[in-house]
Structure 1
Amino acid sequence: MPTIFIKNLKDLIFGQLNIRWSALNAQQTAYDYGFLKLSSFVHDTMLSVEQADIIANLQKTIVAFNGTGNDQKDKEKLKEHIAEAKKAVETARVDHEAGATSDTLTCLQDVSNAIENFYMQLQDFPFPLLGLQDAATPEFIIYSHACHYLGLAKFQPDPHCSIEIRKQKEQALYNRLDKLKKAIRPEYTLDEQREVALQALKDLDRDNNDIVKPKKAVSVPLVSAGFSLFSMPVKAQTSSVGTLEKEILLATKEINAMTVDTSACPKPKAATIVPMLVRTTSKDAQLAAELAAQAKAVVKTARGGEVLADDEEVVPVLVTLASQEASGLAESQAKKAVKPPVTKDEIEVDDEHHQEDGYEEDGYEEDDSVDNGNSRSSSPSR
């Protein structure tokens, strides 16, 4: 799996190459549909086809590149692929007797320069985003989008964002990334990571809006001969929420869409499970077996498929805090297993029924064999 830097670098390179390929393909389409039939355009159109093929092959190479885990070596390798494509374009232009300069050559050179500038920017960025292996967790989704945001400044700079505003946004980004890294622990499950990560994105979004929200107009007094004549409202400098907000929205969407199966977060541990011992006597063997089967199914899911071993005398029953089904079954069946004491009124009514049916009873002797100690409550502790 490529690093976060290489993953986003590939995406940014592909995007720039795709813009150029679309322009070259449009020229070919114009010729195919008869818009350009003059002989002077035929030659240029064939050259465009060759250049489009070179760009398309370069895109395939970029997509297939996985990297070695060494960001410095990998970015140099990508620059080599671009240099090879640039040389192929130059050869094609010589064959078609075209000029030494073209939009395609300019595009390839700009991409090569942007790769280097992007790498240098991450070197200077206070939060370590170089050499960071990608992972399917909410934490690393935010790291990846932060890296992509920084890369856009080199590949697709926003003309509406001033240098000062840009610096403030990058400082806010660093602050939130640093707090996120300190807040998330390695053992956090998906739900725990998601909660912390989404809060970090909300905080960053608030920071971003605080940086770019319009300021109130200030009044600048016009003075003449020492007297204030009137005040002129002047609008303070503002900037768009821009690409940072877009990255925040995309990261939020990805994190919300994650599931236990698609994420690399740790699964729920046995520490969240409450142990209970149920003795298997002849009287409650069936109840214990049913309860144990349900509890084991819960544990099997929580432990990623690990199966517990049975014991002849004692069945270890583990019930998760989130599962009330097993405890409810235990409680209801335990109540059924223990007969309540018969009251005096019930004895008298029962005697009357027996006498009416022709039977006589000497009296009622309470059965002491009922083991009231076998009743149990399996409500898990919190």
Structure 2
Amino acid sequence: MKLDIAVIGNGPTAQLATHALRDAGFEAVMVGPRADRDTDPRTTALMPSSVDSLDILGIDVRSRATPLLDLRIETTGPFGLVTENFTADDAGEEFLAQNLFIRDLMAVIPDVPAVASHATGVFPGDRSVRIETADGSTLEAALAVAADGLQSIAREAAGIALRKRPLGRSALCVPVRLEHPHDRLCIERYDDTGTLTLIPVAEYDASLITIASPDDIGALAACDDETIARKLSRRQTAFGKIAFSGAKAVFPLTLGFTPRPARNRVVAIGESAHIAPPIAAQGWNMSVRDIMTLTELLRSARAEDRDIGSAETLARYAPRRQPDVAGRLSAIGALAGVATRPYAPQKLLRQAGLMALGRFQGAKRGLMRAGLR
């Protein structure tokens, strides 16, 4: 099979990229096995900029998403409990984010042509890239898009280096059911243990993320689910008792970055190109920006009658994308250093910074707009 673009992966990033590229007039096919997302408990929060981008592509997430209208940040420390509220109105937006289950996100992205099999080999050449799959299919494309995650076979085949930096923190993530309705309020708490965030979805559901030292998270995860839920409920009482509604996941926090994400007829996007911990909800929003940037670059290349997979074309991707990615990852890394450690200097810095934002509303609004856009 010969085509313009093969998008390798089977998640929302691969499906959205394939749709966007086909919408731009390219013959694009997704390469990856079918995945059953019906019971996937994970959610993703889409910033206003991402919702706008999906609108451009004819995808409306609002019908299945929960709009997050308010964010309350709480931090303990030498000044007791300091809190600050952030609202959509503060940022001049209708919402802070639209949060929805991964299964609902993939349901609103249009179906795309797919080779429903794992890519087993990716072989870049001078004029095309060949993709072989587990079911015996062979595809030849002018360009391959690596959207197959952290262990990307396509990224590795192209020799695209992914630099990783451990943050020395671990996270426990789990979907939960709340005793009281959340009223579209997201709460982030920074205390003597670490961080605890509840991101609402539906009416009584939320994604819970707690970040602490690897030892503390390991000890917590070793308890039975009821004990974990009881301990977490004591740290955040605004929504009453919490109960697990799905399987918990534990993982170390890492930053990842590809200085040169496009070469040898392969361009890496999403988690194949950058790794962001669940801080500031930037992960999939960066993936959307990757897709929109790549689509526009390839559209321009075709209009100028250039080879969409050529070195000349791909050399234009990093300068358009990497300053934004590097800036956001640097900010996340700095925030992780201050926000997730329960030591006296970090607690003082958190409280002082939060109180300063409360006093200087212009700085608060500017910071919110930068994060949401």
Give the structure-2-normalised TM-score. 0.23
Looking at both structures, which has the greater relative contact order when contacts are Cα pairs under 8 Å and sequence separation is at least 6? 2
User: Relative to total residues, which structure has the larger strand share, 1 or 2?
Assistant: 2
Give the structure-1-normalised TM-score. 0.23
Rg (Cα) greater in structure: 1
